[in-house]
Amino acid sequence: MNWTRRRLAGAALATAGLAGCLGNDGSSGNGGDGDGGDSDDGSGGHDAEAALEDADVTDFVGEEEIEITVDPDGNSFVPEAFEIDRRTVVNWVWEGSSVGLYPLDLPPECMWDEEDNEDDEWAAGDQFDRLFWAPGAYLYASRNDDGEEFTGAFRVVETDGEGDGGNESTEGGNESA
């Protein structure tokens, strides 16, 4: 493993971020907007599994780091849906301006606790990366300059030979789950 300065700094940040994804603090743990984030009530809300069933899913299993383009002009992420294995760093790269990423539906043991970057403005060339280790389906979104929301979905899968449930030290990025 080539330990770059970015990966070393990310490992330090990720260790601090583990507190948000491990253990049971009595909260729902979804990191959403307080409405539970789950849509099992039949209300037609946000459902990561349903989004993945309807999508053309790009397979990135086995990749250490991947890049997702944030294309607010096209109101989409490229690819819009993907699958990764645990401990994959996802790097979102903006091609235009939009707000930051925010979660809509997450696995129960995960929190997306980035200082609410949902309202932060991001411009072409900006990048945001995150390390995902908690298996499950994720649905996330951003908004273009007109306030229109566009969504992306992905699944984190466990592959053969993975360690002790993701409790080990990480390599880089902002650890979420």
What residue spans define the domains of the chain?
Answer: 5-32+46-175
Count the neighbouring beta carbons within 10 Å of the beta carbon of residue 27.
Answer: 10
Find out whether 130 and 90 touch, Cβ atoms under 8 Å.
Answer: yes
Per-residue model confidence as pLDDT tens digits over 10-55: 444 343 333 334 333 333 333 344 343 443 433 346 799 999 999 9
pLDDT at 168 over 60: no
The CATH number of the structural domain formed by 5-32+46-175 is 2.60.40.420
Q: What is the pTM of this model?
A: 0.68
Burial label for 140, CB within 10 Å (0-12, 13-18, 19+), is: buried
pLDDT bucket at 161, cuts 50 / 70 / 90 = low
Question: Could you please report the per-residue DSSP string of 65-91?
Answer: EEEEEEEGGGTEEESSEEEEETTEEEE
The partner residues of 121 in beta bridges, in order of sequence, read 99
